[in-house]
Chains A and B, each alone.
Chain A
Amino acid sequence: DGGITQSPKYLFRKEGQNVTLSCEQNLNHDAMYWYRQDPGQGLRLIYYSQIVNDFQKGDIAEGYSVSREKKESFPLTVTSAQKNPTAFYLCASSAGTGFNSPLHFGNGTRLTVT
């Protein structure tokens, strides 16, 4: 079955360490996204990529970095510059970039930084 795989499901890190979250899709989608979810705040867009080797900042990109070297992969690095990294991170993809291309989500990675 096609879908989006995020790993690991739970991740624990010490403050000051960089950490990379994995996102892989086998839907052959062109666009991929990273969202951060905090209780009561909904989802906020971190980065998105419409095509391989290209990506744009979302609303809360500070302290994060991404790469898009392959169509199926869009890893997110949470750097030590991110002041409040503990959150639930969701990766998504869509076939196109218009409103008629709904987002497909992975099951998320819960990151805890202490």
Chain B
Amino acid sequence: AQSVTQLGSHVSVSEGALVLLRCNYSSSVPPYLFWYVQYPNQGLQLLLKYTSAATLVKGINGFEAEFKKSETSFHLTKPSAHMSDAAEYFCAVSDGAAGNKLTFGGGTRVLVKP
């Protein structure tokens, strides 16, 4: 069975500071990993995905994530936070089997202070 753990349900950063959101996964097969963002009262939007090509993945809005197999991690970073980054972020894992079923982490809500 797969699982995803996001460390920290809330993160507060200053505008212009580094954003770091942590994600650790558990999977019995090589995983496919995803980060999604959710703005208030909206659905989720794909930020980026890891599918066994490059270990450093670049996404939209200046975000990137690095897959580290030895640490079973897929942390999300952005060098400089913007007010518009305030949202909830979800890490998800798929085993690639038919159905495209994703297992999501509990989410991390990001607050950006001016």
Contacts and interface: CB of A to CB of B under 8 A. Distances in A.
Nearest to B33: A99
18 contacts: A4-B43, A40-B106, A42-B106, A42-B107, A43-B90, A43-B102, A44-B104, A45-B102, A50-B99, A56-B99, A92-B43, A97-B99, A98-B100, A100-B51, A102-B49, A105-B45, A108-B41, A108-B43
Interface of B: 4, 6, 9, 32, 34, 41-46, 49, 51, 90, 92, 94, 96, 98-102, 104-107
A107 B101 contact: no
A58 B42 contact: no
Nearest to B32: A99
Given A43-B104, A58-B101, 4 more contacts: A42-B6, A48-B101, A98-B100, A103-B102
A42 B104 contact: yes
A78 interface: no
Contact of B96 (A56, A92, A99): A99
A111 interface: no
Given A96-B100, A97-B100, A100-B51, A90 B106 contact: no
A48 B99 contact: yes
